[in-house]
Amino acid sequence: MAAPTRPVGNPVPTGEGRDPEHGPRPPAPAGRVPLLRSAALVAAKDLRIELSSRVALTQVLPFGGIVLLLSAFAADPDRAALAGVAPGMFWTAVLLAAVLAAGRSAALEIANGADDGLRLSWLDPGGIFLGKVAAVFVQLAFLEVVLLAELVAVYDFRIAHPVLLVAGAAAATLGICAVGVVYGAVAATIGTRETLLPLLALPVLAPVALGGAQAWSAAQQDDAAGGLRWLQLLTVFGCVLVSAGIAAYGALLEEE
């Protein structure tokens, strides 16, 4: 007796369209994840890592507080003189703390080959840059709130124009974060980010810190017209830095 023959029909799909264990595979995305969606995913990932490790809380924040406190000891002990130099001391402390935060942001992608995963993902490179900028921005914003309380207590800093103070801080912090993330990626490609990042970033960040200090001085003296000019300069500078980072981060990511 002849063996039964297999009925002829449509072949079972194999290869890319079917997983032998879990059925049909989901189709590959037609293109990259949109810019803002990529930014939200990367920012959420970095902030979750920071919440679990608490590096900003246990290292960056105490560092900024110590810098601000030691600067008060180095300045004139007269409280009126301290109030005059308070904005400059504040942004110096923020600048140095931002270098640590940016170095930490770059280290997150180097550890365990996470940068390879980002390169192979469908995330938009500009979105990755914006996400990392947003994560560092949140960390620095928290740092600045705490340092502002120290500034009021130690330097007798008085806020006459709070809106100008907040706007100047936001614009300056945006520029600082953009520079830190870009130069953190540059230093990571060379492999000496701990020593090279401050040398690369601080000369570019100095004008941002100067603008932030001038805007805060105007907010301290209720000089809205003078503070608005510095705020406009900081806003233009921040937009230029962010735009340049979005354009260049893809190439930097390929080199890491």
Where are the chain's structural domains?
A: 34-255
What is the C-alpha separation between 186 and 156, in angstroms, rounded? 39
Burial of 129 (0-12, 13-18, 19+ CB in 10 A): buried
What is the C-alpha separation between 156 and 187, in angstroms, rounded? 38
- Per-residue pLDDT at 112: 63
- Per-residue pLDDT at 28: 37
Would you give the DSSP letter of residue 57? Answer: I
Predicted confidence band of residue 113 (pLDDT cuts 50, 70, 90): low
Torsion of CA 188, 43, 230, 216, to 10 degrees: -100
pLDDT tens digits for range 35-92: 999 999 999 988 998 888 888 888 889 999 999 988 888 776 677 778 889 999 999 9
Predicted confidence band of residue 20 (pLDDT cuts 50, 70, 90): very low
What is the C-alpha separation between 63 and 198, in angstroms, rounded? 15
More confident residue, 96 or 192: 96
